[in-house]
Every structure is written in C-alpha cells, then in structure tokens.
Structure 1
Amino acid sequence: MYVFVRRAGRPVTRDEAAAGVGISRKLAAFHLDKLVDAGLLRAHYEHPGGLRKVGRQPKLYEPSGVTVQVSIPERRHDFLADLLMEAVQTGTRDEDGRQAAVRVARERGHGLGTAEREATRPGRLGAERGLTICEHMLERYGFEPARLAPTRLRLRNCPFHPLAARSPDLVCAMNHAFLGGYLDGLRVTGLRADLDPRPGECCVALSPADTRAEAADESP
C-alpha cells in the first residue's frame, strides 16, 4: 500500500489505493489511516486535481517524506559515511585518508562531549558518573553498552558492521578516537577508551584510567 502511494506521484484516494493493490475499499482505508498514524503518509480532504465538484471531498493520501530504516542490531552506516565524507572534504596535505578519518572522528566525539558538558554543567566528573553519561550517548549511537563494573563498560554492538569487517583497522581506530574525544570533551577523570576487540562486539571498551579491569570482573 505504501509503495503504491509513493509510486503514484500524486495524492490518491481510498478507491484508487484499493484498486491499485487489489483489496476492498474498507481494508484500504484501514491500512492507509494506519500509515498516517505511523507518520509515513499524510492525508487531507480535497477533490483530485483540486477541481471543484459537488459533494463531499474525498480523503487523499500522499507520502509524508519521512525516511524509515529498521535494523536489529542497530547499524549506523550513515554516521560512518558522514565522518568519512568530512574527512575527504577537510583533509590536508600533511595527512593521509586514514589520518584524516581518525582526526574527524576525534573532533566529532570531542564536540559531542563538550556540548554534553555545557548543557548539563555537571562540574568535575568522576569515572562512575561519567560512565553513566557515556551510556546514554552510546545507546543513542547503537553501541549497546553493558556495565560490567562501576567503572568499566563493554560495547556489545558495532553499529558499523559489516563495513567494519572490510577495514577493521580503520573503523576501530575511528571508534577509539571518537570515544576518546568524547571523554576529553566531557572532561571525565579516571576513565579512558581502550582498544579491546572481541568477536561480534565493538573494538573499544571504557575502563579505569589507572588500570584495566580484570577479565574476571566481566559478567557472561
């Protein structure tokens, strides 16, 4: 139903939608209104073509312009592409492509951390409180953070997989720089981003700055 409305190239009536997909008008109305409720379509009353006619104006449906993408586990290829595009646009003669990508990832993370600090004004942040703030950001970006100890966090998902598998050194370096920059911008004391790759997970973990948490601290 949604594809039919998109391909029509103009607002369509319930009768047109029903005929287009081969169902009853009542069932078409049900699905069309559900798509409106979901924000995928918008509806208004008007005669097709804007012509004035006698009688009740039919309900017309057209795409809302909302982009929908569903991925489980979450993938953020758009974010990775945005970082790489900025690296291409801002790269200098003194750095190669990898260096530019890592620099941009660190700058983006630092900017996010700085904005978070300025918005909340938490004062000096210790590792445990800082890790709690980091968890919220990591959830938004699809890293699936898991607290293994008061000051240790593993990232159960790489939102850039499977692209990361094609160039793990590059993507892991960008992840490391992004999270390290975030911690710097947030001004968290006693916490660092470590490269600690594990099969099926993100290659970065957040650990105490003075010492790594022992593997025995980790839950299954």
Structure 2
Amino acid sequence: MTTLAALGDDLRRRMFEFIRQERRPVTREEVADDLGISRKLAAFHLDKLVAVGLLQAHYGSSTGIRKVGRRPKMYEPVAEAIAVTIPERRYGMLADVLTEAVMTEAGDESARDAALRVAYRRGESLGGAERERVRPGRLGAERGLSLAADMLEKFGYEPERAAPTLLRLRNCPFHPLAAKAPELVCAVNQAFLAGYLHGLGSDKNTAVLAPRPDACCVELRADGVGQDASESGTACGR
C-alpha cells in the first residue's frame, strides 16, 4: 500500500492529522477517544500507517496512562518529509505569483521586488474580498487575528493562537520550496500575509519574519508585540 492509498481512507487521514497536530507521541487510546472508535480499530489503522512509513511506533510512558503492566504503544509522524502532504501544499499559488512577477517586472524592479509586489497584491485582494464578505467594521488587533486565522486555516498554514495578540503558523504551505530558497520564499510569504492584513483592514497587526523549527517563517502579531514574545528561532519551517 502506498502513502497516497493509506490516506485515501478518511479514517486514517483523520488519525494522521490528529497525531500530526498533537506534535507529541500519542497512544491508540487517545486516537480512539478523539475519533470515537474502538481501541482495536484504532490500533489496526495506526499499524497500517506505520507500515507505509507515515508513522513510527515505540513503547513508552504517556501522561494520563497508568504505569502498570505493559508500557503503551506510542505513535508519532516520521521525521522525514512525506510525498503526500498534510495539509495540502500550495505550490500552485507560489508558482502563479512568480510567473506573474516575471511577466510584469518593470524596468526599475528586480525579480525579487516584482515577486514581493505581486504577492502583496494577491494577499491584499483576498483580504479585501474577506472584508467585503464579513463586513467587520473597525478591527481591533485580536479580532483581526481571529479573522486572519480563518483564512489561513483554509490555505494550510495551521494557525495557532499562541497569545491573544500573537498568531503562529505551524505549517508552511510552500515547504520544501522554502527550505531550498528560504530568503525568497519566506519574503514572498511575508508580503502575501502583510497584503492580506491590509486588505482585511487589520492594520493593528503585522506579518513578521520569525522563522522557527518545524513551522512557518512568518507569524502575525499585534503592533508592539516584540521578538521576546514570539520566542523565535533561526530555522525555516515545514
């Protein structure tokens, strides 16, 4: 069975998404409770995901599990990137931005500047459409981040509200391209998100480059939220 076939099953896909989002080893009991299925059925499908290389399993302890008898079997995603991406990558969107940048590059622009211009306008257009749809009125910082999170979820960023004024993005829709050309791809990503915030009318928030391991290189902050609050690292995300 291939990874694609394994995730073609809705139950297995939901299992994989749950474990990936937990970002820690989980037991079959936790998976079963989350999906509302029996532990035996959860174990069967989890072992199928291990067999195709999407999960790895080991025995260990887990918070909330009684430490008597046999240690529980723990499951977590493999460390390596997988061909089937969860959530869906957005290579097409990035390709469109770069193509339009090449076709519309002005004489006094560099290719990079053209890409940032196009990305900003794309984001601005999406933000404006969302503002027209929800008509939110005056946006405070927290409300702006809430609206942004809804859109970013659809685009595969996996937003996480780390604080009322800080929205972290646990997934990079453009990985592994971001790993190959981080300065360009992360700058395009930042321009796109900055444009979205402006189009949305969320001018009290800022899209900031703040790369961290295993996350997107950009996070959204209320104005005045500094680097210390974000606890940023130096590695580009996935």
- Give the match for residue 90 of structure 2: 76
The answer to whether the aligner puts 1:111 opposite 2:125 as a matched pair is yes
The runs of at least 4 consecutive aligned structure 1 residues that moved more than 6 Å come to: none
Partner of 2:168: 154
Does the Cα contact within 8 Å between 1:149 and 1:217 map onto a contact in 2?
A: no
**Which residue, 149, 152, 157 being the options, matches 1:143?**
157
TM-score (norm 1): 0.64
Deviation at 1:70, TM superposition (A): 5.5
Match of 1:182 among 181, 191, 196: 196
Task: Tell me the secondary structure at the aligned position of residue 143 of structure 1.
Answer: coil
Match of 2:223 among 185, 189, 209: 209
Deviation digits for residues 117-142 of structure 1, max 9, x if unmatched? 11221111111111111011101111
Equivalent residue, structure 2, for 1:126:
140
Aligned-pair identity in percent equals 59
Contact 2:165–2:225 (Cα < 8 Å) also in 1? no
Q: Cα RMSD over matched residues?
A: 2.0
Change in CA separation of 1:88 and 1:214 when aligned onto 2, cut-off 3 Å: same
How big is the shift at 1:78?
0.9
How far apart in 2 are the matches of 1:215 and 1:129? Answer: 19
1:55-82 CA-to-partner distances (Å, cap 9, x unmatched) read xxxxxxxxxxxxxx95224311111111
Larger radius of gyration: 1
Label 1:94 to 1:216 Cα distance change in 2 as closer, same or farther (>3 A).
closer
Look up the SS of the partner of 1:202 in the other structure: coil
TM-score, structure 2 normalization:
0.59
SS at match of 2:146: helix
Q: For 2:226, what is the secondary structure of its paired residue?
A: coil
- Deviations for 1:191-220, whole angstroms, at most 9, x for unmatched residues? 1111101122111011111232744889xx
Structure 1 gaps of 5+ residues are 1-68
Partner of 2:104: 90
Aligned-partner Cα distance in 1 for 2:227–2:196: 21
8 Å Cα contact 1:146/1:154 also seen in 2: yes
- Aligned equivalents of 1:217 and 1:167: distance in 2? 23
Q: Which runs of 5+ in 2 are unaligned?
A: 1-82, 233-238
Aligned residues: 150
Contact 2:102–2:111 (CA under 8 A) maintained in structure 1 = yes
Q: Are residues 1:195 and 2:235 paired?
A: no
Secondary structure of 1:115's aligned partner? helix
For the structure 1 residues 124 and 164, does the alpha-carbon distance in structure 2 shift closer, same or farther, using more than 3 Å as the test?
Answer: same
